[in-house]
Structure 1
Amino acid sequence: MVCEKCEKKLSKVIVPDKWKEGASNTTEAGGRKVNENKLLSKKKRWTPYGNTKCIICKQQVHQDAKYCHTCAYSKGVCAMCGKQVLDTKFYKQSNV
């Protein structure tokens, strides 16, 4: 659960450029190599889970967030910035 401000950060997608003249993923005129994985050929490799961990339970988080989904929902905060989003005062939640 994220706030409205942080929803914009979630829309990032790793997709190659559209196939057209001048795109960086074409094979002609100094474009990319044949059978080259663009994610692995960079110096800084992309890791799907990153190095970020939840502040509360120390579980790995798959986005640029402070809290995992479970902890964010139980506390009622935005997973990315920690802003209070939901009032969980009258919720019946277990400690598990």
Structure 2
Amino acid sequence: MVCEKCEKKLGKVIVPDKWKDGAHNTTEGGDRKINENKLLSKKNRWAPYGQSKCTICKQQVHQNGKYCHTCAYSKGVCAMCGKQVLDTKLYKQSNV
């Protein structure tokens, strides 16, 4: 859960190219290679040890932020900036 301001900062999901006149791998963009894996390309490579950790439970955070999804929901704060988003005073939550 993120606030309205941080929704713009969320990462994009990698999806396959749209269908274009029968060709599923088009090179109209110029620098796009055929059969290129976007997750393994140099500029967007995933670094599992370079990610930030949650300030509460020390679990790795998927997006750039302060809190993991579980801790952010239980505290009612934005996962990226820590701003109070939800009032969880009357919620019945366990400590697990």
For 1:1-80, what aligned pairs fall within 5 Å after superposition? 1-14=1-14, 19-21=26-28, 23-25=30-32, 32=33, 37=37, 39-40=39-40, 42=42, 45-47=45-47, 50-80=50-80
Structure 2 vs 1, CA of residues 23 and 44 (structure 1 numbering), >3 Å: closer, same or farther?
A: closer
Question: How many correspondences in the alignment?
Answer: 89
Provide TM-score, normalisation by structure 2. 0.71
Partner SS for 1:87: coil
Q: Which runs of 5+ in 2 are unaligned?
A: 19-25
**Runs ≥4 in structure 1, deviation > 6 angstroms?**
15-18
CA RMSD across the alignment: 2.9
> Residue type matched to 1:94 in 2?
S
Choose between structure 1 and 2: higher helix proportion.
Answer: 1
Structure 2 vs 1, CA of residues 76 and 90 (structure 1 numbering), >3 Å: closer, same or farther?
A: same
Q: Which runs of 5+ in 1 are unaligned?
A: 26-31
Provide TM-score, normalisation by structure 1. 0.71
Provide the identity percentage. 82
Counterpart Cα distance in 2 of 1:63 and 1:42: 19
